[in-house]
Chain A
């Protein structure tokens, strides 16, 4: 008999192979196990031994023994140079004693080499499609994959055969900018784009082509909904306040006095900042309105490019509350609707972002529906059916208190497409600020690479330039940084705290900044 509370549960599904496959998915999702339906532990992959390395005429020659596959085939090898992910080599049958590869020595790095087999288990995996029996259920990420990110970086010092053209080049990459809490009238992104323009010029190869011929910034606006509500309440409350005396009803008097202040944004943290977060999290209708307006703006931008040149390379750069807004809105757009023909035109099968870059990510803290780890707002292969982007960069400053609560920590997202970027710099008192994050090379370099089609063998910002930028960056440039760090180090909140604490976090943060 099918259990009513779980009509899709084991009893319903176990009668078929497809159903058993679905159960394996669900078990893996819940428990991260590496086993089949019968709970037999699946064999794990045996990695190759450390490769032998020979240098020969400006090239590196690596040789290694074969890996031994797990229950599924080994699709590829990844060559690592120290901590740097390198070339990816499709699996070859091991008909010789060793496998080998020759690589250009320049830029191959000074670290030791390592060869890693990319596992492909018979059980649920990130790249596998969701079994049909599980249609409608969540898609699990069953296990952490082996590291397999990026490419081998080479230096390009030789004279180039291809001379860059002087004007219009590749399709302009559209970057949607999504702001966080606070007052953000139209034009708010000027400070962000101005900063990025200055940083762009620091990299000579990148700057060979003007920024506006590579990247088109598309400012997303939704703050007018918050401000419209606040102005509405303030105006009504002011009128109503005239009709009542405190003696008649102290409660109503207090309510109207508080609402009258709603439209004031200067020195009014509650209404200018905190109210945005509370309204977005608690007032579902406000959330729906914002999600719709942002989804509309995404769709308009993407469609403009697809209509003009049938190509749209786009990314989303979101900050703070904007990470939750971007997540919810892009997922809604990609999930589509049956309300109109063409309602799925923006699904990941038809449209895919190059990169979602989440700065001070609070999407999990403010999560409602869908689950932030299982929505379309996640990374994956460029031909994946469900992942909305190829790459996902999650950026966090260790001193920023907001992402501490219920942090965004996906399990099972492949390192090839997901990167956690943790920085520790203190250049401004407001370590949570959008611009503050972007100043760090560890944040803006991946962004520039994603936005300029340079995530293969990077040529526009080489590895050497990246290392130099990181070395030269002064993490504690703010006078009094140590004192600020000392204050912020005493954060009295934990990962287990939830969104209800966000007001306290904001108050504590304000206090910490004022004491320095």
Chain B
């Protein structure tokens, strides 16, 4: 019976081996005997997220892991989890790496506000760098994990001890960092949402209905030339040499509208922001106008006047032409013109289908 069971047992172990190989080991049970082995273990465990990352399976990771989920969900205050990691560190031992991490954690915890935000504290200091170091700007506390393992592997016993200390410190530091990160989730999300709205507002301003020509961008951009950080788009702008199409109505045309090329020589426009879009308030421009109908005897193509920009995209103006026929014209901006174009849907809607 024993002989029959032995191969089955071996088969079970072999079958489980790929599964076992896919999970992180208990790093405190590994026993590297040389610097080379320790270095390889370090590299491998780092590469496979076993030192405090989300796949870590050490006792501390297992106990703190669920806390991170609760902190993310707002069901647990992060300070308790931070202190749990710190207490684990205090119980860990007296090696130089423990001492350094203890010192840095203690300084950090002394600043942690009860119920406040961690935003202004330096939580990123607990992240191990790509050069496998911590606390690079603090010469007395800098931890160089790879160098530490190199220097302390003169004997198998010292190598194993050094490895276990390095792995524990890396795990504690990474968990500490992850708790801090989890606690700031709401703030980060708020910032992402703010940026999403700000992006929409800038795009609406730059590409939307009151989009400017290149020369206008130069003029209106002047106020932002020194802006280094995130800023809101404006709620007003200069209008400068802004061409557009318009409709003109004058006595000369006997009630028929004629297309004209309008140039707003200079002016001012303002609006309010509702959500991520603008709502017109008030604006006004000095305008030049070129009518496009065939010149008649005594007629002049060019005229000048003024225009106001009103809510609901209504732009209405007046143009004067020194001509024998139809000196005075009413000008409608393109959007307003749509309302009055015969047969337009907007006009039909306004006049009840007529």
By size class, the interface of chain A is 35 or more
Q: In the complex, what's the smallest C-beta–C-beta distance from B53 to chain A, in angstroms? A: 6
Q: Which B250-299 residues have C-beta < 8 A from chain A?
A: 259-261, 263, 290, 292
B203 contacts A293, C-beta separation under 8 Å: yes
**Whole-angstrom CA separation of A293 from B207 in the bound complex:** 13
Q: Which residue in A252, A287, A343 is a CB contact (below 8 Å) of B243?
A: A252
A232-B207, A303-B192, A383-B135 known; A288+B227 contact, CB < 8 A:
yes
CB neighbours of B47 from chain A (8 A): 164, 169-170, 209, 453
Secondary structure of the A side of the interface? loop
B221 contacts A342, C-beta separation under 8 Å: no
Q: Which residue in A160, A229, A355 is a CB contact (below 8 Å) of B206?
A: A229
In the complex, per-residue mask of A80-117: 1 if CB is within 8 Å of any chain B CB, else 0: 00000001111100000000010110000000000000
B26 lies within 8 A of chain A by Cβ: no
CB neighbours of B49 from chain A (8 A): 169-171
B22 lies within 8 A of chain A by Cβ: yes
**Whole-angstrom CA separation of A73 from B140 in the bound complex:** 11
By size class, the interface of chain B is 35 or more
CB neighbours of B218 from chain A (8 A): 282-283
Which one, B179-187, B314-322, B341-349, is touching chain A? Answer: B179-187
A299-B192, A382-B133, A457-B146 known; A289+B206 contact, CB < 8 A:
yes
CB neighbours of A91 from chain B (8 A): 139
B157 lies within 8 A of chain A by Cβ: no
A87-B147, A169-B48, A283-B214 known; A456+B132 contact, CB < 8 A:
yes
Which one, A8-16, A185-193, A332-340, is touching chain B? Answer: A332-340
B36 lies within 8 A of chain A by Cβ: yes
B235 lies within 8 A of chain A by Cβ: no
**Whole-angstrom CA separation of A370 from B198 in the bound complex:** 20
B134 lies within 8 A of chain A by Cβ: yes
Which one, B4-12, B83-91, B122-130, is touching chain A? Answer: B122-130
A166 contacts B130, C-beta separation under 8 Å: no
Q: Which residue in B44, B178, B223, B229 is a CB contact (below 8 Å) of A332?
A: B229
B213 contacts A233, C-beta separation under 8 Å: yes
Q: Which residue in A284, A348, A453 is a CB contact (below 8 Å) of B46?
A: A453
CB neighbours of A331 from chain B (8 A): 228-229
B191 contacts A284, C-beta separation under 8 Å: no
B231 lies within 8 A of chain A by Cβ: yes
**Whole-angstrom CA separation of A279 from B212 in the bound complex:** 13
A352 lies within 8 A of chain B by Cβ: yes
B121 lies within 8 A of chain A by Cβ: yes
Nearest 9 interchain pairs by C-beta? A342-B187, A75-B139, A162-B44, A383-B125, A284-B221, A381-B136, A381-B137, A310-B178, A284-B224
Question: Can you list 25 A-B contacts (CB < 8 A)?
Answer: A127-B137, A162-B41, A233-B213, A236-B244, A244-B292, A252-B243, A286-B217, A288-B231, A291-B230, A295-B195, A296-B192, A299-B191, A310-B177, A333-B195, A340-B193, A343-B194, A344-B119, A345-B184, A349-B122, A370-B228, A385-B122, A449-B130, A453-B47, A453-B130, A456-B131
